[in-house]
Chains A and B, each alone.
Chain A
Amino acid sequence: MSPSAEKQKSDCILDELKRRQRTKEVVDVEEERVKVVIFACGVNLFAFYGRDIREILPSCDISWVPSLPDYLPGLINVRGDIESVIDLRHFLGEEKGDGSKRLIAMAVQGDFRSGVMIESIEDVVDIPLSTIHPPLATLNGAARDLVIGEIEYGGTTISLLDVGKLAALVAL
């Protein structure tokens, strides 16, 4: 094989690789991505859109208030602001456990603002919008009211929950 032919072959490969790289860059730029916060509630993993979670608070004292329904365990003091707390397990059909060791995710969407009790934060990831699939038709009744989609994480499918739907449920 002549040196000129070899050069041509390497040029072809190089061109092809560069073309693929350019295409990938274009795809990367065009693909809309969203941040999601993956967390454990009960024994299962769920996710919220990152834009709806203002901060994660370490386990803090919840002041119980009489006459509230079970899914509202009480009040917390966040740097002087008094906030409500929602027990998400009530809506997801998860077992109740020890509330004292749980974290609180501050959820904010529009006029809605509340702490949401969770077990732990698993991850915060950027995912392509296209990887969010419609909710499974087989989803059980309790969780179905909150789920906005399904995403893949660590080889399993987890439910993406909507803070707006949670706000609507709690306000009922």
Chain B
Amino acid sequence: MNDESDIRIDLLLFSVCGVYFGVDAGQVTGIAAYNGEQADDLFWFHEVLEYGDATSTYFSPTVITIKTGGVPSYRVIIDKMEDIVDFSQNDIRLFPELLEPFTLRNGMWGIVVKDDRMILLVDFKRLLRDRMDVNAQRRGDKK
């Protein structure tokens, strides 16, 4: 029986340096193999998510274009794109309260468990919006 109040989401699943992620496939407008290009609107995923000192090796780098809705285009290099899977909102868990302030700040808003693996859900639009807010605040502080 279908629960009509259930919200469903197609998640594009990929991994970067052994960590599994999912992004709303509706936010992605393009997928292409990375050809070595360097551009101001192109970012490595491990830099966007602030991996810190962890070594970052990409086996099959892939560029995804994020639908930004008005602001300049935004492209992210991810690794090992695996699948697009339909999930119910009931499959999504919240981050533990202790971690949420850190994860939300970096666009990570939930977790799904699939095949005993934890998949961290990233919202690039949220990340972009928050980063723009922080930058705007910093500019305001300097004045």
A82 touches B95 (CB 8 A): yes
Which residues of A (53-80) have their CB < 8 Å from a CB of B?
A: 63-69, 72, 75, 77, 80
Q: What total count of A-B pairs have CB within 8 Å?
A: 67
A83-B102 in contact given A66-B46, A66-B49, A66-B51 (Cβ < 8 Å): no
B111 within 8 A of A: yes
Chain A residues near B99: list those with CB within 8 A: 65, 68, 72, 75, 84
**Given known A65-B103, A75-B111, contact A111–B97 (CB-CB < 8 A):** yes
Query: Is residue A159 within 8 Å, beta carbon to beta carbon, of the partner chain?
Result: no
CA distance A66 to B16 in the complex (A): 11
The CA-CA distance from A82 to B105 in the complex, in Å, is: 19
Q: Is the beta-carbon distance between A114 and B19 smaller than 8 angstroms? A: no
Q: Flag if B111 contacts A82 (CB, 8 Å).
A: yes
Known: A67-B49, A113-B96. A75 touches B102 (CB 8 A): no
The reply to whether the CB of A171 lies closer than 8 angstroms to some CB of chain B is yes
Known: A82-B95, A84-B96, A84-B98. A67 touches B111 (CB 8 A): no
What residues on B are CB-neighbors of A75 within 8 Å? Answer: 95-96, 99, 111, 118
SS class, residues of chain B in contact with chain A? loop
Query: In this assembly, does A170 line the interface, its C-beta being within 8 Å of a C-beta of chain B?
Result: yes
Residues 36-69 (chain B) with a chain A CB within 8 angstroms: 46, 49-52, 54
| A residues less than 8 Å from B52 (CB atoms) | 66-67
Most B Cβ at <10 Å: residue of A63, A67, A83: A67
Cα distance A69–B50 when bound, in Å?
A: 11
Specify the chain B residue showing the minimal Cβ separation from A62: B118
Residue B23 CB within 8 A of the other chain: no
| Complexed CA–CA distance, A163 and B18 (Å) | 32
Give the complex CA separation of A72 and B118 in angstroms: 16
CB distance from B131 to the nearest CB of A (A): 12
Whether B77 sits at the interface, judged by CB under 8 Å, is: no
Convert B71-101 into 0s and 1s, putting 1 for each residue whose CB lies closer than 8 angstroms to a CB of A.
0000000000000000000000111111100
Q: List 8 A-B contacts (CB under 8 A).
A: A65-B19, A66-B46, A66-B51, A72-B102, A82-B96, A82-B118, A84-B95, A84-B99
Taking Cβ atoms with an 8 Å cutoff, the residues of B that contact A are 18-19, 46, 49-52, 54, 93-99, 102-103, 105-106, 108, 111, 113, 116, 118, 120
Residues on A facing B (Cβ under 8 Å): 63-69, 72, 75, 77, 80, 82-84, 86, 111-114, 170-171
Among all A-B residue pairs, the 10 with the closest Cβ atoms:
A84-B96, A66-B49, A67-B106, A63-B118, A84-B98, A67-B50, A66-B51, A82-B93, A84-B99, A68-B102
